[in-house]
Amino acid sequence: MPVDMTKKKLATGIDVFHCLNEDCTICEKAKFVRAAFPRVPRHLRARFPPFWRIYIDGFGGQKKFGVRTVHGATGGYVFVDEESGAIDRKLDSSKKQYHLLLEQYDIAVHAIGFKIGSVIVDDAPELYGAEAQAVARRWSFVIVPILTNTPQQQKAEKEIKDFMAITREMMLGKKEPLNSWGAATGYATKVHFVVPNAGDNHCYSPFQMIWLRAPDVAMMFYRVFGASCEYKPHVSRLMATEVRTVSGNLRHRASFGIGEKKRQQQDRACCVSESRRVREQVLS
């Protein structure tokens, strides 16, 4: 404004011919925006074997999903492999169960022939507490806490955003009940495992980054989530005159680490057999 008034001779005694570079403290406090962290090129990053560096972050809780799952979970934790981008999730009903879920994940990684070297977590107390440190000593890996709003934390946050987007598509596509979000999140991680990643993995899927070959999706059990199907009931014996299949919806079993067997006995009707003999009847 002073520059225009001086050039147009609308006022005298101002004599301002250039914009003054004076920072406004109020403007900085009101309009502050953090600049984005530049992405490190792929060829400049440290390379690790699959599952050597894992990022962990929590999701859900505080009634974020509205209702509990079929097995009583309120939230969970996401485990992200830095090298392959593979995602796994473990459901829980209390933060006290985290160290048990961490050990379950480590056992699963060892079962497929890999080892965890370090676990990157944020500043949540249960993620690096005494019980989690005991698991780390038992399985010979280190827990590395990081600060919030750092690139390391955003790695896990981005993966949560990606697999929750797949979860919403499954829930909204078939109008599933709200308490099936646990099954949807589990199936979303399985779909993400074989879908090519258009980001840093050169359009390879996590499956291909780990096993060095493309997945044969036709031989895998990937079906439409929520599709109507016929499945064999979970009973030991059937009478000769009883039906052999039961009508239901195809859902991935929502694994739950604590008391899973007891809850499965109570909610057998909600569990769908993952047999290859499933006959889909996709609703239009």
Query: For residue 266, what pLDDT is reported?
Result: 38
State CA 11 to chain mean position distance. 62
- What distance in Å separates the CA atoms of residue 252 and residue 187, rounded to the nearest whole number? 5
87 within some domain: yes
20-46 residue pLDDT tens: 666 667 777 777 777 777 777 777 878
Q: Which of 198, 216, 234 is the last residue of a domain?
A: 216
Query: For residue 219, what pLDDT is reported?
Result: 81
225 within some domain: no
Query: For residue 28, what pLDDT is reported?
Result: 72
284 within some domain: no
**Radius of gyration from C-alpha coordinates of the chain:** 26
Q: How many domains does the chain have?
A: 2
93 within some domain: yes
My answer on whether 9 and 124 are in the same domain is: no
What is the reported pTM?
0.72
Three-state SS sequence of the chain? CHHHHHHCCCCCCCCCCCCCCCCCHHHHHHHCCCCCCCCCCHHHCCCCCCCCEEEEEEEECCCCCCCCCCCCCCEEEEEEECCCCCEEEEEECCHHHHHHHHHHHHHHHHHCCCCCCEEEECCCHHHCCHHHHHHHHHHCCEEEECCCCCHHHHHHHHHHHHHHHHHHHHHHHHCCCHHHHHHHHHHHHHHHHHCCCCCCCCCCCHHHHHHCCCCCHHHCCCCCCCCEEEECCCCCCCCCCCCCCEEEECCCCCCECCCHHHHHHHCHHHCCCCCCCCEEECCC
My answer on whether 122 and 180 are in the same domain is: yes
Could you tell me the CATH number of the domain that includes residue 88?
Answer: 3.30.420.10
33-37, 203-207, 274-278: which has the minimum mean pLDDT?
274-278
Domain containing 89 equals 50-216
Res. 202: pLDDT tops 80 = no
Q: Which of 197, 216, 235 is the last residue of a domain?
A: 216
My answer on whether 93 and 8 are in the same domain is: no
My answer on whether 125 and 168 are in the same domain is: yes
My answer on whether 11 and 119 are in the same domain is: no
Nearest CA to 251 among 270, 279, 230? 270
202 within some domain: yes
Q: Which of 193, 216, 239 is the last residue of a domain?
A: 216
My answer on whether 83 and 188 are in the same domain is: yes
